[in-house]
Amino acid sequence: MFEGDACVYAGTEVEHWRERFRIGGYIQLFLHFVAKHSPNYPKLMFDGRECLGADFERQRKQTLKKA
C-alpha cells in the first residue's frame, strides 16, 4: 500500500497485521461496522447501546440490573 491508500476488510474473517512503521509520523483511522448479514446484527448495531450517541456505561449498567 502507498500513502493515501485505504483498505476495507472483514477483520473477524480475514487474517491481518501491520508491519512496523519506520517513518516519523502517521495517522490511522479505524471504522468498525456490523454487517446486516452477520449473526450480531442488530444486537451489536450500536455496540449494545440504545442508539448512536447513547452513554455506553449507563446502558451497560441498566442491562446488568435487568439480568
- Model pLDDT for residues 6-16, shown as the tens digit of each residue: 888 888 788 98
Spell out the alpha helix ranges (H) of the chain. Answer: 56-66
Q: What is the DSSP letter of 51?
A: S
CB atoms near residue 8 (< 10 Å): 7
pTM of the model: 0.47
pLDDT at 4: 84
pLDDT at 67: 65
Q: Could you read off the pLDDT of 18-61 as tens digits, one per residue?
A: 888 888 887 888 888 888 888 888 888 887 787 888 787 777 77
Note whether 48 and 63 are within 8 A (CB). Answer: yes
**Closest-CA residue to 32 (of 1, 9, 48, 60):** 9
CB atoms near residue 34 (< 10 Å): 15
